[in-house]
Amino acid sequence: MKLDSVITEPETIDKILKHIVHTGGRDPFEPRGPPGEATGPVEGIA
């Protein structure tokens, strides 16, 4: 993964977060538990 840019303007960050919440996405700053257990084999691993 490569970092291409950084958003530092609070107004822009607020707009992005409001859009995520409005479209049903998860708030990236909301705490969450550990991932669940895998239910099957992972593709691409031999």
Question: Cα 25 vs. chain centroid, distance in angstroms?
Answer: 8
Rounded to two decimals, the pTM is 0.47
pLDDT tens profile 1-46: 788 999 999 999 999 888 888 888 777 678 888 877 766 666 665 5
Both tokens of 23, joined, read 């479209």
Task: Give the closest residue to 28 by CA, choosing from 36, 16, 38, 37.
Answer: 16
At position 46, the amino acid (one-letter code) is A
